[in-house]
Homo-oligomer: A and B are copies of this chain.
Amino acid sequence: MQLTLQTDISLRILILMGGQGLDRRYTITELADFFHVSRNHMVKIVNKLGKESYLLNVRGKGGGIYLAKKPKDINIAEVIRTMENNTEIIDCQKHQCIFTGNCKLKGIINQASVLFFEHISQYTLADILIDL
């Protein structure tokens, strides 16, 4: 029951960028090296963060990758929900579960998941920035 690597690295990118001043521009190679993931993997993560309006990627001289929003406008729960491909903690379709439709477990786990995200949604990127 862990965040995907994509979500984990996304949160780290946002913390890095938010903590280093918003004028700083980054390259894919720099981010890949910094977080010890492959360049290919970093391209996918940055593209998705761009698509979801967390990052901007400006080409050319003076361009680069940077935060598209102020840290106080980036909700941590929203980042997790957006970057996880699936926030269903239990997948009743998997392995053709025969209890589907009748099962009380999913409701209990879904309610627990609501409490999980409600807690995290109290925080924005501004709350978790680090002086780097």
Contacts and interface: CB of A to CB of B under 8 A. Distances in A.
Contacts of A51: none
A130 B1 CA distance: 25
Interface residues of A, number: 49
Interface of A: 1-5, 7-9, 11-12, 15, 34-37, 76, 80, 84, 86-91, 94-99, 102-105, 108-109, 111-113, 115-120, 123, 127-128, 130
Nearest to A102: B130
Contacts of A102: 130
B128 A119 contact: no
B128 A104 contact: yes
A61 B87 CA distance: 45
